[in-house]
Amino acid sequence: MIYHYNEVPIFYEQTGTGPAIVLLHGFLESSTMWEEIVSALSGKYTFIYIDLPGHGKSGVIDEVHTMELMANVVYQLLNHLNLKNASFVGHSMGGYIALALAEKHTTLINHLVLLNSTTFADSADRKKQRDRALRFIEADKDTIVSMAISNLFYPEVRNTYASEIKKLKEEALQFPTEGIMAAIRGMKDRKDRTDVFKNFPGEKTIVCGSKDPVVPLSVSKEMAKATGVTLKILDGSHMSWIENRSEIVKIVHFIE
Protein backbone atom coordinates (compact mmCIF):
# COMPACT_ATOMS: atom_id res chain seq x y z
CA MET A 1 0.00 0.00 0.00
CA ILE A 2 1.10 3.57 -0.64
CA TYR A 3 0.61 6.67 1.50
CA HIS A 4 1.72 10.03 0.10
CA TYR A 5 3.59 12.36 2.43
CA ASN A 6 3.92 15.77 0.77
CA GLU A 7 3.45 13.93 -2.55
CA VAL A 8 6.30 11.50 -1.78
CA PRO A 9 5.22 7.83 -1.84
CA ILE A 10 5.65 5.95 1.43
CA PHE A 11 5.16 2.20 1.15
CA TYR A 12 3.64 0.23 4.02
CA GLU A 13 1.84 -3.00 4.83
CA GLN A 14 -1.03 -3.54 7.24
CA THR A 15 -2.05 -7.06 8.14
CA GLY A 16 -3.56 -9.19 10.89
CA THR A 17 -6.12 -8.53 13.62
CA GLY A 18 -5.89 -7.45 17.24
CA PRO A 19 -3.90 -4.74 19.04
CA ALA A 20 -1.66 -2.71 16.73
CA ILE A 21 2.11 -3.05 16.59
CA VAL A 22 4.17 -0.72 14.40
CA LEU A 23 7.48 -2.14 13.17
CA LEU A 24 10.26 0.25 12.15
CA HIS A 25 13.30 -1.11 10.32
CA GLY A 26 16.88 0.08 10.55
CA PHE A 27 19.35 1.77 8.22
CA LEU A 28 19.84 -0.07 4.89
CA GLU A 29 16.88 -2.32 5.71
CA SER A 30 13.24 -2.27 4.66
CA SER A 31 9.86 -3.51 5.81
CA THR A 32 10.70 -6.91 4.33
CA MET A 33 12.83 -7.65 7.41
CA TRP A 34 9.65 -8.17 9.45
CA GLU A 35 7.87 -10.62 7.15
CA GLU A 36 8.66 -13.85 9.02
CA ILE A 37 7.91 -12.30 12.41
CA VAL A 38 4.61 -10.94 11.12
CA SER A 39 3.74 -14.30 9.59
CA ALA A 40 4.30 -16.02 12.93
CA LEU A 41 2.07 -13.61 14.87
CA SER A 42 -0.46 -12.11 12.44
CA GLY A 43 -3.36 -13.96 14.08
CA LYS A 44 -2.74 -12.12 17.36
CA TYR A 45 -1.90 -8.57 16.30
CA THR A 46 -2.49 -5.98 13.62
CA PHE A 47 0.94 -5.15 12.19
CA ILE A 48 1.86 -1.97 10.36
CA TYR A 49 5.33 -2.12 8.87
CA ILE A 50 6.73 0.70 6.81
CA ASP A 51 9.49 1.42 4.31
CA LEU A 52 11.03 4.51 5.87
CA PRO A 53 11.89 7.42 3.53
CA GLY A 54 14.66 6.60 1.05
CA HIS A 55 14.47 2.89 1.86
CA GLY A 56 12.64 0.02 0.21
CA LYS A 57 9.89 1.29 -2.06
CA SER A 58 9.55 4.69 -0.37
CA GLY A 59 10.71 7.94 -1.93
CA VAL A 60 13.21 10.52 -0.76
CA ILE A 61 11.78 13.58 0.98
CA ASP A 62 14.77 15.85 1.63
CA GLU A 63 18.56 16.05 1.70
CA VAL A 64 18.46 15.26 5.42
CA HIS A 65 16.02 12.73 6.84
CA THR A 66 16.09 13.79 10.46
CA MET A 67 14.66 11.45 13.05
CA GLU A 68 11.96 14.06 13.66
CA LEU A 69 11.02 14.14 9.98
CA MET A 70 10.79 10.36 9.71
CA ALA A 71 8.83 10.21 12.97
CA ASN A 72 6.37 12.69 11.50
CA VAL A 73 6.02 10.52 8.39
CA VAL A 74 5.11 7.59 10.64
CA TYR A 75 2.74 9.73 12.71
CA GLN A 76 0.93 11.11 9.67
CA LEU A 77 0.57 7.63 8.18
CA LEU A 78 -0.91 6.29 11.42
CA ASN A 79 -3.23 9.29 11.56
CA HIS A 80 -4.30 8.45 7.99
CA LEU A 81 -5.08 4.92 9.21
CA ASN A 82 -7.07 6.34 12.17
CA LEU A 83 -4.76 4.54 14.58
CA LYS A 84 -4.90 6.22 17.98
CA ASN A 85 -2.35 4.07 19.82
CA ALA A 86 -0.01 1.16 19.20
CA SER A 87 3.07 -0.59 20.47
CA PHE A 88 6.32 0.07 18.60
CA VAL A 89 9.37 -2.05 17.83
CA GLY A 90 12.28 -0.12 16.34
CA HIS A 91 15.41 -1.82 15.06
CA SER A 92 18.54 0.37 15.21
CA MET A 93 17.60 3.54 13.25
CA GLY A 94 13.96 2.54 13.69
CA GLY A 95 14.50 2.86 17.44
CA TYR A 96 15.84 6.39 17.01
CA ILE A 97 12.69 7.26 15.09
CA ALA A 98 10.43 5.64 17.68
CA LEU A 99 12.14 7.72 20.39
CA ALA A 100 11.55 10.92 18.39
CA LEU A 101 7.91 9.91 18.09
CA ALA A 102 7.68 9.18 21.82
CA GLU A 103 9.05 12.62 22.61
CA LYS A 104 6.30 14.42 20.71
CA HIS A 105 3.40 11.95 20.78
CA THR A 106 3.81 10.08 24.05
CA THR A 107 0.21 8.89 24.33
CA LEU A 108 0.37 7.25 20.91
CA ILE A 109 2.73 4.55 22.21
CA ASN A 110 1.69 1.76 24.57
CA HIS A 111 4.93 -0.23 24.64
CA LEU A 112 8.25 0.84 23.16
CA VAL A 113 10.83 -1.80 22.26
CA LEU A 114 14.35 -0.70 21.30
CA LEU A 115 15.90 -3.55 19.33
CA ASN A 116 19.69 -3.24 18.85
CA SER A 117 19.25 0.50 19.25
CA THR A 118 20.29 3.27 21.62
CA THR A 119 18.98 6.44 23.22
CA PHE A 120 22.40 8.08 22.99
CA ALA A 121 23.53 10.51 20.31
CA ASP A 122 26.45 9.59 18.04
CA SER A 123 29.89 9.76 19.59
CA ALA A 124 32.55 11.97 17.97
CA ASP A 125 34.16 8.88 16.39
CA ARG A 126 30.83 7.67 15.03
CA LYS A 127 30.17 11.07 13.48
CA LYS A 128 33.55 10.88 11.73
CA GLN A 129 32.66 7.44 10.37
CA ARG A 130 29.41 8.81 8.98
CA ASP A 131 31.27 11.75 7.40
CA ARG A 132 33.63 9.31 5.68
CA ALA A 133 30.69 7.32 4.34
CA LEU A 134 29.11 10.50 2.97
CA ARG A 135 32.35 11.50 1.24
CA PHE A 136 32.75 8.20 -0.59
CA ILE A 137 29.28 6.81 -1.15
CA GLU A 138 28.49 8.69 -4.37
CA ALA A 139 31.69 7.45 -5.99
CA ASP A 140 31.65 3.93 -4.57
CA LYS A 141 28.15 3.06 -3.35
CA ASP A 142 28.62 -0.69 -3.73
CA THR A 143 31.66 -0.80 -1.44
CA ILE A 144 30.19 1.48 1.23
CA VAL A 145 26.86 -0.39 1.37
CA SER A 146 28.54 -3.79 1.29
CA MET A 147 30.94 -2.86 4.09
CA ALA A 148 28.19 -1.28 6.21
CA ILE A 149 26.01 -4.40 6.05
CA SER A 150 28.88 -6.82 6.71
CA ASN A 151 29.82 -4.75 9.75
CA LEU A 152 26.39 -5.36 11.29
CA PHE A 153 27.57 -8.91 12.05
CA TYR A 154 30.63 -9.74 14.11
CA PRO A 155 33.29 -11.43 11.94
CA GLU A 156 32.93 -14.96 13.32
CA VAL A 157 29.32 -15.33 12.13
CA ARG A 158 29.52 -13.72 8.69
CA ASN A 159 29.99 -17.07 6.96
CA THR A 160 27.08 -18.55 8.89
CA TYR A 161 24.77 -15.82 7.63
CA ALA A 162 26.34 -15.41 4.18
CA SER A 163 23.06 -15.90 2.30
CA GLU A 164 21.20 -13.42 4.53
CA ILE A 165 24.01 -10.87 4.14
CA LYS A 166 23.95 -11.32 0.37
CA LYS A 167 20.19 -10.72 0.29
CA LEU A 168 20.49 -7.62 2.47
CA LYS A 169 23.19 -6.18 0.22
CA GLU A 170 21.24 -6.87 -2.97
CA GLU A 171 18.19 -5.09 -1.58
CA ALA A 172 20.07 -2.12 -0.10
CA LEU A 173 21.94 -1.48 -3.36
CA GLN A 174 18.57 -0.77 -4.96
CA PHE A 175 17.89 2.10 -2.56
CA PRO A 176 18.56 5.58 -3.99
CA THR A 177 21.96 6.97 -3.04
CA GLU A 178 20.39 10.27 -1.99
CA GLY A 179 18.06 8.39 0.38
CA ILE A 180 20.96 6.56 2.00
CA MET A 181 22.86 9.81 2.40
CA ALA A 182 19.82 11.58 3.84
CA ALA A 183 19.51 8.89 6.51
CA ILE A 184 23.22 9.06 7.36
CA ARG A 185 22.97 12.83 7.84
CA GLY A 186 19.88 12.43 10.00
CA MET A 187 21.44 9.79 12.24
CA LYS A 188 24.64 11.79 12.60
CA ASP A 189 22.74 14.87 13.78
CA ARG A 190 20.21 13.15 16.04
CA LYS A 191 20.03 14.26 19.65
CA ASP A 192 20.32 12.25 22.84
CA ARG A 193 16.92 10.96 23.95
CA THR A 194 17.90 9.10 27.10
CA ASP A 195 15.61 11.26 29.23
CA VAL A 196 12.76 10.72 26.77
CA PHE A 197 13.03 6.96 27.22
CA LYS A 198 13.59 7.21 30.97
CA ASN A 199 10.48 9.35 31.44
CA PHE A 200 8.30 7.50 28.95
CA PRO A 201 5.29 6.34 31.03
CA GLY A 202 4.38 3.25 29.00
CA GLU A 203 5.98 -0.18 28.96
CA LYS A 204 9.53 -0.24 27.61
CA THR A 205 12.04 -2.89 26.65
CA ILE A 206 15.66 -2.91 25.51
CA VAL A 207 16.92 -5.87 23.49
CA CYS A 208 20.62 -6.08 22.62
CA GLY A 209 23.16 -8.48 21.17
CA SER A 210 26.01 -9.69 23.36
CA LYS A 211 28.52 -9.08 20.54
CA ASP A 212 26.84 -6.17 18.78
CA PRO A 213 29.57 -4.24 16.87
CA VAL A 214 27.30 -1.22 16.30
CA VAL A 215 25.69 -0.79 19.73
CA PRO A 216 28.20 -2.54 22.03
CA LEU A 217 26.92 -4.39 25.06
CA SER A 218 28.68 -1.88 27.31
CA VAL A 219 26.63 0.92 25.72
CA SER A 220 23.38 -1.02 26.15
CA LYS A 221 24.20 -1.66 29.80
CA GLU A 222 24.93 2.03 30.32
CA MET A 223 21.63 2.95 28.65
CA ALA A 224 19.69 0.43 30.74
CA LYS A 225 21.24 1.81 33.93
CA ALA A 226 20.55 5.43 32.92
CA THR A 227 16.89 4.72 32.12
CA GLY A 228 16.10 2.10 34.75
CA VAL A 229 14.96 -0.39 32.10
CA THR A 230 15.69 -4.11 32.26
CA LEU A 231 18.04 -5.25 29.49
CA LYS A 232 17.35 -8.42 27.48
CA ILE A 233 20.69 -9.74 26.21
CA LEU A 234 20.66 -12.15 23.26
CA ASP A 235 23.64 -14.10 21.97
CA GLY A 236 24.62 -12.44 18.70
CA SER A 237 25.46 -9.17 17.01
CA HIS A 238 23.44 -6.26 15.61
CA MET A 239 20.95 -8.29 13.59
CA SER A 240 18.98 -10.01 16.33
CA TRP A 241 15.97 -10.33 14.04
CA ILE A 242 18.08 -12.70 11.90
CA GLU A 243 20.33 -14.32 14.50
CA ASN A 244 17.65 -14.76 17.18
CA ARG A 245 14.38 -14.74 15.22
CA SER A 246 12.57 -17.15 17.55
CA GLU A 247 13.48 -15.01 20.55
CA ILE A 248 12.29 -11.84 18.80
CA VAL A 249 9.01 -13.57 17.95
CA LYS A 250 8.58 -14.40 21.65
CA ILE A 251 9.35 -10.82 22.69
CA VAL A 252 6.85 -9.39 20.20
CA HIS A 253 4.29 -12.08 21.13
CA PHE A 254 4.28 -10.91 24.75
CA ILE A 255 4.57 -7.21 23.95
CA GLU A 256 1.17 -6.40 25.44
pLDDT tens for 76-135 read: 999 999 999 999 999 999 999 999 999 999 999 999 999 999 999 999 999 999 999 999
Provide the domain count of the chain.
Answer: 1
Q: How confident is the model at residue 43 (pLDDT cuts 50, 70, 90)?
A: confident
Q: Is the pLDDT of residue 254 over 90?
A: no
Q: What is the pLDDT of residues 224-234, one digit of tens each?
A: 999 999 999 99
Q: How confident is the model at residue 212 (pLDDT cuts 50, 70, 90)?
A: very high
Q: Is the pLDDT of residue 151 over 90?
A: yes
For every residue of the chain, DSSP letters joined together read -EEEETTEEEEEEEEESSSEEEEE--TT--GGGGHHHHHHHTTT-EEEEE--TTSTT-----S---HHHHHHHHHHHHHHTT---EEEEEETHHHHHHHHHHHH-GGGEEEEEEES--SSPPPHHHHHHHHHHHHHHTT-HHHHHHHHHHTTS-GGGTTTTHHHHHHHHHHHTTS-HHHHHHHHHHHHTPPP-HHHHHH--SEEEEEEETT-SSS-HHHHHHHHHHHT--EEEESSSS-HHHHTHHHHHHHHHT--
Give the domain CATH number at 231. 3.40.50.1820
Find the mean pLDDT for residues 26-32.
98
Q: What is the pLDDT of residues 161-178, one digit of tens each?
A: 999 999 999 999 999 999
Mean pLDDT across the chain, nearest whole number?
A: 96
pTM for this predicted structure: 0.97
Find the mean pLDDT for residues 23-31.
98
Q: How confident is the model at residue 256 (pLDDT cuts 50, 70, 90)?
A: low
Percentage of the residues of the chain whose pLDDT score is greater than 90? 97
Contact 21, 45 (CB under 8 A): yes
Parent domain of 205: 2-253
